[in-house]
Amino acid sequence: MHQASKANTGLVLFALAVGGFAIGTTEFGTMSLLPLFASGLGIDAPTAGHVISAYALGVVVGAPTLAVLGARLNRRTLLILLMAMFVLGNVLSALSPSYAWLLIFRFICGLPHGAYFGIAALVASSLVPEDRRTVAVGRMFLGLTVATIAGVPFSDWLGHIIGWRWSFGFAASLGVLTMTCVRLFAPSVPADADASPLRELSALRRAQVWLTLGIGAIGFGGLFAVYTYLADILTSVTHVSVAMTALILSVLGVGLTIGNLVVPVFADRALMRTAGILLVWSAATLIVFPLAAHNVWTITLDVFLIGVGGALATVLQTRLMDVAEDAQGLAAALNHSAFNTANALGPFLGGLAIAGGFGWTSPGWVGALLAVGGLVIWAVSLHLQRGKESAEQKRIESRV
The domain covering 205-400 belongs, at the CATH homologous superfamily level, to: MFS general substrate transporter like domains (1.20.1250.20)
Q: What is the mean pLDDT of the chain?
A: 88
Whole-angstrom distance, CA of residue 253 vs CA of residue 242: 17
Whole-angstrom distance, CA of residue 178 vs CA of residue 85: 12
Domain boundaries of the chain, sorted by first residue? 1-195, 205-400
Q: Mean pLDDT across the stretch 179-199?
A: 79
The answer to whether 82 touches 356, Cβ cutoff 8 Å, is no
pLDDT at residue 2 greater than cutoff 60: no
Q: Give the pLDDT confidence of 38-62 residue by residue, as tens digits.
A: 788 888 766 777 787 788 889 888 9
pTM of the complete model: 0.85
Q: Give the pLDDT confidence of 359-388 residue by residue, as tens digits.
A: 999 999 999 999 999 999 999 999 999 888
Q: Mean pLDDT across the stretch 118-130?
A: 89
- Residue 305, pLDDT score: 97
Topology match between the domains 1-195 and 205-400: yes
Whether CATH 1.10.300.10 fits 1-195: no
Amino acid at 342: A
- Report the chain's C-alpha Rg in angstroms: 21
Q: Mean pLDDT across the stretch 337-356?
A: 86
Query: Distances in Å between the alpha carbon of 108 and those of 60, 308, 376?
Result: 12, 31, 35
Q: Give the pLDDT confidence of 211-231 residue by residue, as tens digits.
A: 999 999 999 999 988 887 888
The answer to whether 120 touches 19, Cβ cutoff 8 Å, is yes
- Residue 400, pLDDT score: 59
- Residue 195, pLDDT score: 59
pLDDT at residue 202 greater than cutoff 70: no
